[in-house]
Structure 1
Amino acid sequence: MIRLLALALATLPATAHSASPACGGDPAAGRPVVSETVSADPTRKRVFAGVVAATHSTDLAFQTIGRVARIEVDPGDRVAGGDVLATLDRVSLQEDVASARAALSAALAEAAFARQSFERVNTLAERGIAPRAQLEEAEAARDATQAQAEAAQADLARARDALGHGTLVAPNDGIVLSTEVEEGTVVAAGTPILTLADLKGREAVIDVPTEFLQVLPQDAQFEVVVHAEFANPRKARLRLVEPVIGDNIRTRRLRLTITEGDSDFRIGSLVSATLARLDLPVMTLPATALTGTETDPAVWRVLPPDRRVERVGIKTGRRLADRIEITEGLSVGDEIVTKGAACLRDGLAVGPRVAP
């Protein structure tokens, strides 16, 4: 047993060296690697998922306080301008009008009585019978009751307006995106009841890494395609880079106005967006392709026709998410090893290209 164990230990280093488990494969048959062809488009492989939204949407609300009696629509319903969307409890609104009318009648009666009292006291004062203080008191009562009557008149006008505003109608044709309250809810004036999207205009909303903005022109053009559909890509234009950073501090939200075929996109559909311009003078590679040191970076270039590799010194620029900008040392069309570079040496043959 001891002799067998010693024999195994003696042969272990040679076995481990020949197998090269960290690199794998048979060097004589070509080292298996993953490579990428250098392109002048830094976003060639950057496809961003997003969702279709309406270019214009509006939160609709009642202009008065009240209890929601009915909501006539559901999310996804298409409505026409003038259609009734929701109503408040008209019984309570009519009671408010009746109460305001009664308060006005009482205020007018008090104002009339105070005016008559002032006229009587004024006549007596002219004859020298009523004292000056009594006249001033009657004058003050007349003015106060008149002001109360005017306030009651205004309250009645507001109650009548509220009765007229108890019906929420669609200002234009659109699609109901969401309803914010339930029937029976007491709402204040201006409380959002539902959100209505305009039928015209669609945009794609996507989140991109913050570094992506460094290579994004102000007039960036995108191609947008709907998920799970065999549809042709549609062109979209960058409308807005939202100034607020997303929940993930490494992303920013872009809004892309779909400039052609927007009627083919349904609100809420999942889409993919890619930068349409392919002439940006920027070359990038995955960070995994770099070898060497920070002061002397390099990559492995595959040379045709026998697919042997050579080490090429490069200069790097900005970091764009998981990719590095290459400023010098490479040309468009070069095939560069992106995975497996640690197992290479000059002149070593590699196997057929495997795309990442």
Structure 2
Amino acid sequence: MNRLLFVVALLCPVFVWPVSVSPAFASAEEAGAPPAGPRPAVSEIVTADPTRERMFPGVIEAAHETNLAFQTIGRIASLDAAPGDLVDAGQVLATLDRVSLQEDVASAEAALSSARAAADFAEQSYSRARALADRDIATKADVEKAEANRNATAAQVKAAEADLTSAREALSYGSLSAPEAGVVLDTPVEQGTVVSAGTTVVTLADLKGREAVIDVPSEFLALLAPDAAFRLSGHEGADDPVMARLRLIEPVADDTLRGRRLRLAIDDDQDRFRIGSLVSATYAAVGDEIITLPQSAITGGPDQPTVWRVTGPARTVNAIPVTLGSAIGDRIEVMAGVSVGDEIIVKGANSLEEGQSVGERAQ
């Protein structure tokens, strides 16, 4: 039994736990890890440049366009206009086949002659029936029948007269003239085409006005005043910009571009740009400064939005409450809280603490 206990004691080692820590190990643990350096972050210097991300491509169009059409059906005999042509007021742009129109007039005249002859005969028949009835030779029914025939033929005469008037007017409508001086934009039909009344034959642009047409994001409309000003520059960039004013915001949004179309009336120098010229429109904000920041710079939630401002040589950050305005794409308007020249953290803002240092801003 004693031998068995001796074997068990050999197989089970005895552990001795220390009751104190050496001074060398204790000082190392108390020292801890070395302090962390400045936290990396991305910042932006606040500016009030109203042209920032507010330049849009556009095209010059006429302020007034007119679709010209014939007032009668016919075949186009001549088309003396082409896109780009300058025309004068009263200039003949297209004509219809006058042969067919004259045939219509002749047919209407013949129909009127026939109707008048029938009306004269009906009038004579009615007179004879009345005379015979007075002598008790014709019955009352015969008189009524003759009277009805007289009335019917008289109505046919009026209808034939109206047809003749219409045919003569159609003959006078055989020429399509320019109502005013302008430039031809389009001729959607060709010579020899049979057109009905109202079919557009020539699209004419008035020379008296020009406007620029641009497409902008729907969010951009929040910044625009009713008479917002824009600067128009040609793609060549050689001439000074031309000022334009917002005339119309088209009510229907573009499903493809997910934006809105603006029409800008050119204030002066309307002859600077030709119709169809490509331009760049820059929003020329006036009045109060417009400050925007990326939405990634905003922290603190919708009830108390804040941003982190970098201050001092140590580049420490401080939380600044701000008042927000309208969203403009991935940026948002800041109404109060920051000023031009402030350095604001725009990336990494959610992981900062008050008074924390950030790295140097990359130039």
TM-score by length of 1: 0.81
Deviation at 1:53, TM superposition (A): 1.1
Assess, with a 3 A threshold, how the Cα gap between structure 1 residues 181 and 280 changes in structure 2: closer, same or farther.
farther
Residue 164 (structure 2) aligned to one of 156, 162, 186: 156
Residue 273 (structure 1) aligned to one of 272, 278, 281: 281
Whether 2:114 is the aligned partner of 1:115: answer: no
Q: CA separation in 1, counterparts of 2:242 and 2:49?
A: 23
Assess, with a 3 A threshold, how the Cα gap between structure 1 residues 73 and 40 changes in structure 2: closer, same or farther.
closer
Deviation at 1:132, TM superposition (A): 1.6
Whether 2:46 is the aligned partner of 1:37: answer: yes
> Where do 1:251-266 residues align within 5 Å?
251-266=259-274
The RMSD of aligned alpha carbons is 2.8
Partner of 1:126: 134
CA contact (8 A) 1:60 1:192 kept: yes
Amino acid at match of 2:70: F
Q: CA separation in 2, counterparts of 1:68 and 1:307?
A: 83
Question: What SS class does the counterpart of residue 58 from structure 2 fall into?
Answer: strand
> Where do 1:14-53 residues align within 5 Å?
35-39=44-48, 41=50, 43-53=51-61
The aligned length equals 324
Partner of 1:237: 245
CA contact (8 A) 2:82 2:184 kept: yes
Greater C-alpha radius of gyration:
2
Amino acid at match of 2:280: S
Partner of 2:29: none
Whether 2:354 is the aligned partner of 1:347: answer: no
Question: What SS class does the counterpart of residue 69 from structure 1 fall into?
Answer: strand
Question: What SS class does the counterpart of residue 341 from structure 2 fall into?
Answer: coil
Whether 2:320 is the aligned partner of 1:313: answer: yes
After TM superposition, the structure 1 stretch with the greater mean CA deviation from structure 2, 257-266 or 127-136, is 127-136
Amino acid at match of 2:106: A
Assess, with a 3 A threshold, how the Cα gap between structure 1 residues 162 and 309 changes in structure 2: closer, same or farther.
farther
Deviation at 1:182, TM superposition (A): 2.5
Q: Which runs of 5+ in 1 are unaligned?
A: 1-26
Deviation at 1:232, TM superposition (A): 0.9
Question: What SS class does the counterpart of residue 340 from structure 2 fall into?
Answer: coil
> Where do 1:1-356 residues align within 5 Å?
35-39=44-48, 41=50, 43-248=51-256, 250-290=258-298, 298-299=306-307, 301=309, 308=315, 310-315=317-322, 316-338=324-346, 346-353=356-363
Aligned residues with identical type, % of pairs: 53
Question: What SS class does the counterpart of residue 189 from structure 2 fall into?
Answer: coil
Q: Which runs of 5+ in 2 are unaligned?
A: 1-36
Q: CA separation in 1, counterparts of 2:43 and 2:103?
A: 78
TM-score by length of 2: 0.80
Question: What SS class does the counterpart of residue 54 from structure 2 fall into?
Answer: coil
